[in-house]
Amino acid sequence: MPDVEVEVDNTELEQEAARLAALLSTGILDTEPEASYDAITRLSVEYFQADAALLGFADQSRVWIKSHSGHPVRELPRENSLFNMVLAQDGPVVIPDLAKHPQHTRPFLIVKGMDLAFVASAPVRSHENRILGVLTIFGRNPRVGMDPNELRTLESLADMVAGQLELRRLRNAFTVHSARRLRTSSPALATPSGWPQPQNLRRALDQRQFVLYYQPEVELTTRKIVGLEALIRWAHPERGLILPMDFIPLAEESELIVPIGDWGLSEACGQIQKWCREDPHHKSLRVCVNLSARQFSRPGLADHVEALLLQYGISSRQLGLEMTESSLIPNMRIALEVLGSLRRLGVSLLMDDFGTGYSSLNHLHSFPFDVLKIDRSFVGRMTDGDQPLQIVRTIIELARVLGMDVVAEGIETCDQYRLLRQLGCRFGQGYLFARPMSAEAVTRLLRLPGRVLPDPELLESIVG
């Protein structure tokens, strides 16, 4: 028996170490309380008519408050906060009346400054789904509880925090990555064991280490989730989640991209089936899968896709395939044939990263695409001046003339969101709305009433 106990302890310790590593990679603990999060705690107070709201991140022993509304506090001992309960439950915690709660034996520290009765906390998760912190609302009076819609809204607000955190992590990672590159003057990928190499990719496939994350695509005027883009990650047992840019190019060179791509397609179809079983309304969602050049050079692709649709009992309207213009160029004749048969099947075809490759009007015209995705580099520069804005305007106009829908990628700010709507762009995706997340997290998001995400502009307007 003692052996078993030690084992359990170790797993917990490892989990906590991985959680702390994920927290440190965001750099959030090194900063003062942050104005950028104030909007979220203020909105939480207003929306829930609460007396206070706190957003905090937990290290080994303390919860560091990064934003507070209604009750100023900088930090809390971890055991006196709701964090441990959220972590243990791996989900939100609602206590209608603290006085009647069995765990009231250890009163929360914050009670000192405030007579608390009601508390509700939702987890802020890392991109690897580890709980880094909590968004909590407090009330002086007891409440009956929270209805499921309210709870989902609290969770979505916490997910918005997570989106901002993800941006911060990426910026940090970029700085570290560049520094490492400079120091070693060899590509960061050249490090030895376990790191992307053909044999490791093969093993990863056999050991089912790949996972699909999904990023919501919204209709910009309503913020209704209309689709999801499947984005592959490698859940490496030691290194955590590895992003596609660190292994897809290698997979493409080694032809392993074909079995990896096949896995991704059937995984996504299986997930579509699951979502539709959970709610038939989700049949209106389109899940899009990214394809590489090599996957096109196989004339059997359309048959393969058709077989998958049959196997999972889903309609072709529920599936989209994304590809870049440059992936079609090497073998235009076959590409045209394959796209033609996919089109006849009824799946949507999306041209990805538009504007970065050849962007030939001729290709746009001859390939049967339904949707054009504006590359995020253009969206990112939109507010930098007149010229980048004109480029986006022109792409949207071009799509309109060709009868294609437009999706803007990488929307990160309210200004970009506003401008895109003014320009008549119908759809978009980006961290401002939601980052790529696990199927499980997306399932929660899809339960929001009308599948409508919270309004990021509302957050901004409350800040004033």
Cβ proximity to Mg ion, 126 vs 290, nearer residue = 290
Residue from 232, 319, 321, 338 in contact with ligand C2E (CB under 6 A): 232
Residue 430 CB, nearest distance to ligand C2E (Å)? 3
DSSP H or E run through 134: strand 131-139
Q: Is 231 in the site for ligand C2E (CB under 6 A)?
A: yes
431 binds, among Mg ion, ligand C2E, none (CB under 5 to 8 A by kind): ligand C2E
309 to 328, contacts with Mg ion by CB under 5 A? 322
Q: Is 159 in the site for Mg ion (CB under 5 A)?
A: no
Q: Is 155 in the site for Mg ion (CB under 5 A)?
A: no
Q: Is 355 in the site for ligand C2E (CB under 6 A)?
A: no
- Round to whole Å and give the CA distance between 177 and 198: 22
Q: Which of 424, 40, 412, 394 is nearest to 221 (CA)?
A: 424
Q: Is 353 in the site for Mg ion (CB under 5 A)?
A: yes
How many other CB atoms sit within 10 Å of the CB of residue 100?
A: 10
Alpha carbon of 267 to those of 202, 264, 444: distances in Å? 17, 5, 19
244 binds, among Mg ion, ligand C2E, none (CB under 5 to 8 A by kind): ligand C2E
- Round to whole Å and give the CA distance between 365 and 14: 54
What single-letter DSSP state applies at residue 432? Answer: T
Residue 287 CB, nearest distance to Mg ion (Å)? 12
3-state secondary structure at position 82: coil
Residue from 26, 67, 215, 290 in contact with Mg ion (CB under 5 A): 290
Q: Alpha helices, DSSP H only, in 346-428?
A: 361-366, 376-381, 386-402, 414-422
Q: Which of 141, 160, 125, 131 is nearest to 43 (CA)?
A: 160
Residue 186 CB, nearest distance to Mg ion (Å)? 28
Cβ proximity to ligand C2E, 19 vs 127, nearer residue = 127
Residue 410 CB, nearest distance to Mg ion (Å)? 8
- Round to whole Å and give the CA distance between 394 and 354: 12
Q: Do residues 123 and 158 touch, judged by C-beta distance below 8 A?
A: yes
Cβ proximity to Mg ion, 155 vs 322, nearer residue = 322
Q: Is 166 in the site for Mg ion (CB under 5 A)?
A: no
Q: Do residues 415 and 383 touch, judged by C-beta distance below 8 A?
A: yes
What single-letter DSSP state applies at residue 299? Answer: T
365 to 424, contacts with ligand C2E by CB under 6 A? 376, 409-412
**What is the size of the binding site for Mg ion (CB under 5 A)?**
5
φ/ψ of residue 355, rounded to 5 = 105, -15
Cβ proximity to Mg ion, 54 vs 411, nearer residue = 411
How many other CB atoms sit within 10 Å of the CB of residue 251?
A: 25
Cβ proximity to ligand C2E, 261 vs 320, nearer residue = 261
Q: Is 431 in the site for ligand C2E (CB under 6 A)?
A: yes
Residue type at 275? W
Written as six digits, the tokens of 220 are: 């910009």
Q: Per-residue string for binding with ligand C2E, 245-274, x by CB under 6 A?
A: x--x------------x--x----------
Q: Per-residue string for binding with ligand C2E, 275-314, x by CB under 6 A?
A: ---------------xxx----------------------
Residue 245 CB, nearest distance to ligand C2E (Å)? 6
- Round to whole Å and give the CA distance between 76 and 85: 14
215 binds, among ligand C2E, Mg ion, none (CB under 5 to 8 A by kind): ligand C2E
**Residue in the structure block whose two tokens are 């609460």:** 50
Q: Is 352 in the site for ligand C2E (CB under 6 A)?
A: yes
Q: Do residues 242 and 234 touch, judged by C-beta distance below 8 A?
A: yes
Binding site for Mg ion (CB under 5 A): 290, 322, 352-353, 409
Binding site for ligand C2E (CB under 6 A): 215, 231-232, 243-245, 248, 261, 264, 290-292, 322, 352-353, 376, 409-412, 429-431, 436
